[in-house]
Chain A
Amino acid sequence: MRESLGDRIFSTVNVIILAILGIASLFPFYYVVVVSFTSPSDYTGSSLILYPKSFSLAAYEYIFSTNTFIKSLGVSAYLAIVGTLLSLMVSAAFGYMISRKRLFGRKPLTVALIITILFSPGIIPNYLLIKDLGLMNSLWSIILPGLLSGWNALLLKTFFDGIPESLEESAYIDGANDLRIFFQIILPLSLPALAAFGLFFAVAYWNTFFTAILYITDPDQRPLQVLLQGMLVQSETGIADPSAAAEQSVPPDTIKMAAVVVATVPILLVYPFLQKHFAKGVMLGSVKG
């Protein structure tokens, strides 16, 4: 059936508006990239840079020549990798345990988990606990409390609920125990879901800011986001002696923008690989209409 004129106008206007919104989503980032690659001589505080006028890696060379930046990058990478793997293991194993219907104590364990979603004791009791455990200035203060997140474990439980029990039963008959079944049957089957949750965990660890400012005061252990806050928000050069940057005559603004780009690239790298999975991951937990 041919579309009417009205429908075609509607479609065109719709596409145009969406395209504008798409550009609005990308523009801030585009601008940051352009500034970060602008050469120091072309960048003066007052000039308007809307498109690349020149190309220079000076800002990137500068941040990668500083120890602080490299260290923070390493801390964040460590958090993202170790934190994600451990969180996935702990949350999936717990979720699997409470998804088995024959398990004695399944109900109370599930309720105990849900309570932690409903009620959070707040910042101070958590802070005092970390302090009493002697975890201040240790990256475990960021990883350990996040290992079992109520939401994610509950979502993983819902996912495991959907795996047919007959699969497990036939494995029992073949002589496998629960550990083997979990690691050799359930986990490989759940890879798409694990990929989605892995992405969420990894992004959360990479973006860790609040717990890091609470528990980490040692400059050598600062995750990238905390370093970035120093640079971007408190407008310190943050990463090193500001006079050193001035000596190299790299404007602080291009350095900041280069840091933003570097902090975002890892997310951009994993994003396309996991994108096809995450809608599924979200839907698992969403309310059904």
Chain B
Amino acid sequence: MTMMKENLLAAKPLAKPRNKRRKKWQALKRDRYLYLLGLPGILCLIIFKYIPMWGVLIAFQDYSPFKGLLGSEWVGLENFRVFFENPDFPMLLRNTIAINVMSLVFFFPVPIILSLMMNEVRNELFKRTIQSIVYLPHFLSWVIIAGLTFTLFATGEGLVNKILIQLGYEGVQWLTTPNYFWAFLTGQSVWKEAGWGTVIFLAAMANVDPQLYEAARMDGASRLRQMWNITIPAIQNVIIILLILKLGHIMDVGFEQVFLLQNAAVSEVADVFDTYIYRVGIRQSEFSYTTAVGLFKAAIGLMLVIISNKLVKKAGGEGFY
């Protein structure tokens, strides 16, 4: 039916503008069920994604929940000025960037090395088993991960300290020493996500033509040599693209991970933008001020993502839009 209508439509001359408008109307009518399918999604998009985008305007107001967005007083950039002059600002920026740089140096290479190693395993059963095991932590919540961290590293009851004491050493205040905090965040990320991160590299490696390895073997290349000269060049592009994408998210640190691990003793190094917004905004109801903080973060993030997407396209990747 619809198909026939479509054919009829195509047969009509579309010279006159009036016809054009009618064509549009008929296309709308023809696809009414498609729009109906998408309607719940469109509503969600409008209500839960676009209305909050208007909500950022309260960053430029002295917002009062009683007066609402329309009735509150406009204050221009005052909230931003207060934030930039606040000593918390350099601290938040430093923590956010430091945590991301740590992750870049100590987390980023791990999935690459891990997938190179997994790719060299000849026993399929062993390979599958290892894959299933290292993927698993990805599916655990940050609450569980935090719980596991405390179980292993808590001062009195933690397993690591119990072992240390058993061996005659003194226990260490792992989780309340600021110097260790970033290392713990990075360690948690490695444990949770490194295995999962291998999925994409292993897929890239699976696409390598086996003849390349065969030819290399004929020439007497060792396994390490083959890895170096065939496998690594094969995943080079994926590495570059993921690296650029990661740089695009250097303002983002997962709220849950930091929030769950932080405590009063380490707050100097543990506060990042999102935990600050939660603490000051929600707990102390400083809505306008923390919306400004969030808007600042989102604006920088948007810029970084757009730049990194451009770079990805330059590097030969597909980018995501």
Contacts and interface: CB of A to CB of B under 8 A. Distances in A.
A112 to B, nearest CB: 6
A116 B302 CA distance: 11
Given A90-B44, A119-B298, 8 more contacts: A96-B38, A97-B38, A123-B274, A124-B58, A128-B58, A131-B65, A178-B31, A288-B318
Across chains A and B, which 10 residue pairs bring their CB atoms closest together, nearest first?
A122-B294, A125-B55, A94-B41, A97-B38, A207-B141, A232-B147, A178-B33, A172-B3, A125-B52, A289-B238
Nearest to A48: B162
A209 B34 contact: no
Interface stretch (B11-19, B93-101, B148-156): B148-156
A96 B39 CA distance: 12
Interface residues of A, number: 99
A113 B46 CA distance: 10
B294 A121 contact: yes
A188 to B, nearest CB: 16
Contacts of A263: 141, 144
Contacts of A102: 6, 27, 31
A81 interface: no
A154 B318 CA distance: 14
Interface majority SS (helix, strand, loop, mixed), chain B: helix
A267 B137 CA distance: 10
Contacts of A98: 38
Contacts of A21: 114, 130, 134
A129 interface: yes
B222 A4 contact: yes
A96 B277 CA distance: 36
Interface string A1-18: 100101100110011011
A164 interface: no
A228 B33 contact: no
A55 interface: no
A232 B139 contact: no
A148 B317 contact: no
B256 to A, nearest CB: 5
B224 interface: yes
B133 A22 contact: yes
A260 interface: yes
Contacts of A144: 44, 47-48
Interface string A36-54: 0000000001111000000
A100 B137 CA distance: 37
Nearest to B286: A124
B297 A10 contact: no
Interface stretch (B83-91, B121-129, B178-186): B121-129
Given A257-B151, A267-B140, A18 B121 contact: yes
Interface string A200-225: 00010011011000100000000001
A70 interface: no
Contact of B223 (A7, A93, A127, A148): A7
Interface string A138-152: 000000110110100
B245 interface: yes
Pick from A172, A229, A256 the residue with the most CB of B within 10 Å: A229
B200 interface: yes
Contact of B132 (A1, A17, A275): A275
B294 A104 contact: no
Interface of B: 1-3, 6, 24, 27-28, 31, 33-38, 40-42, 44-45, 47-56, 58, 65, 114, 117-118, 120-123, 126, 129-130, 132-137, 139-144, 146-148, 150-152, 156-157, 159, 162-163, 166, 191, 195, 199-200, 203-204, 217, 222-224, 235-238, 241-242, 245, 255-256, 259-260, 274, 277-278, 281-282, 287, 290-291, 294-295, 297-298, 302, 305-306, 312, 317-321
Contact of A147 (B44, B281, B321): B44
A228 B152 CA distance: 17
Contacts of B295: 121-122
10 contacts: A6-B222, A90-B44, A118-B302, A121-B52, A123-B282, A147-B40, A207-B140, A233-B143, A271-B139, A287-B200
B36 A253 contact: no
Contact of A287 (B53, B157, B238, B297): B238
Contact of A45 (B1, B2, B156, B312): B156
B277 A124 contact: yes
Contact of B298 (A14, A97, A121, A175): A121
Contacts of A246: none
A287 B245 contact: yes
Given A21-B134, A104-B28, A144-B48, A283 B200 contact: yes
A207 B42 CA distance: 26
A273 to B, nearest CB: 12
B276 to A, nearest CB: 10
Given A21-B134, A103-B34, A264-B144, A10 B199 contact: no
